[in-house]
Amino acid sequence: MTERKMMAVLNGASVFPPPIWVMRQAGRYLPEYRATRSQAGGFLDLCYNPGLACEVTLQPIRRYGFDAAILFSDILVIPDALGRKVAFQEGEGPVLEPLDLDRVGALDLTRIHERLGPVYEAVERIRGALPPETTFLGFCGAPWTVATYMIAGRGTSDQGPARKAALRDPDGFAKLIDVLVQASIAYLARQIARGADAVQIFDTWAGVLDESEFERWVIAPTKAIVAGLRAIHPGARVIGFPKGAQALLARYVAETGVDAVGIDWTMPHAFVRAELQDKVAVQGNLDPMRVVVGGRALDEGVDRVLEGLGAGRLIFNLGHGITPDADPANMARLVERVRAAKR
């Protein structure tokens, strides 16, 4: 079998036109997703229903033929599997039982695979149903980002509750991060064992930390996950996405051992070429708003990414997830323009 296009880039090749997938490609902007979602009940019910999770993972592959599919799940299945109460309220997002750091010892690592069994079944079903040329990505939330939700009980504008907790009690916060590192290693390793080709670590809230806190709560845990995963699966391919990291991305790449790094739409291409792209593959970085607006704004944005980063190792993606108000026709236009690109 010929090598999957995206895996070729993760393995060191430069491919043009580059492989393409988009974060949140299975989601609310697609009418077929909304129809399937209505069958599931709650959002976590959808994540834990192997048949429906498989279906929504495959929907954007059928519609657009992306070069990669990503497991449909959520970063908060880890705290759920650790025994914390997690719910998703319509219009409000996730709501968790806030965690006091003196209760970290009650988190139960021994039963996470039991709770996550339906996710692993979905992984097997998806791999069996995907076209052979399609890369299959597993994922987890990074420990810092998952911890921010666990501490606050919900997302906040600056994740202040977790930042305060980490500064006031760094030793206690480190114990939480250590639990999340071990849970993430186990979770990602099982996804690879069941059929994922590579995995992505989403650190959505990395950009709110100062340099020293970024080193401790983003770089060090990611390095530990990569090392722990490769101790189980040597050669495992890992994409890191510390959103908002800016210039700290260079240290993240140098120290964590990731094979590719996601870049948001604010990153200058000159910096990415000079500091990152000769070391790892880069993934991104079209502004998701351009997919909402469409037309010339979309075309110019696509061309700018290809011109700025297409000479090196590139996985074309958005700088963050596609938004629910995006027009599916604009996504089709994006894919067509990337695929038709010439050097």
Q: Which residue out of 33, 48, 64, 149 is catalytically annotated?
A: 149
Q: Which residue out of 4, 24, 163, 337 is catalytically annotated?
A: 24
Distance CA 219, CA 183 (A): 17
**Coil, strand, or helix at residue 204?**
coil
Q: Which two tokens stand for residue 169?
A: 């009690």
Q: Which residue out of 29, 33, 37, 67 is catalytically annotated?
A: 37
Cβ count within 10 A of residue 178: 14
Q: Which two tokens stand for residue 288?
A: 């998701």
Q: CA distances (Å), 78 to each of 86, 116, 143, in order? A: 10, 8, 10
The answer to whether residue 64 is catalytic is no
Where are the strands (E) in the chain, listed by range?
A: 68-70, 86-89, 93-96, 135-141, 198-203, 237-242, 260-262, 281-286, 314-318
Distance CA 230, CA 235 (A): 6
Are the beta carbons of 139 and 283 closer than 8 angstroms? Answer: no
The answer to whether residue 37 is catalytic is yes
CA torsion, points 206, 247, 20, 32, in degrees to nearest 10?
Answer: 30
Question: Please, which residues have CB within 8 angstroms of residue 170's CB and are 6 or more apart in sequence?
Answer: 216
- Amino acid sitting at position 3: E
Q: Which two tokens stand for residue 136?
A: 């299959």
The answer to whether residue 163 is catalytic is no
**Would residue 159 be called left, alpha or beta, if left means φ above 0 and alpha means ψ between -120 and 50 degrees?**
left
The answer to whether residue 230 is catalytic is no
The answer to whether residue 149 is catalytic is yes
**What 3 state SS string does 170-200 have?**
HHHHHHHHHHHHHHHHHHHHHHHHHCCCEEE
Q: Which residue out of 45, 63, 74, 327 is catalytically annotated?
A: 74
Looking at residue 289, the DSSP 8-state letter turns out to be H
DSSP β-ladder status, 237-242 and 93-96:
unpaired
Catalytic residues: 24, 28, 37, 74, 149
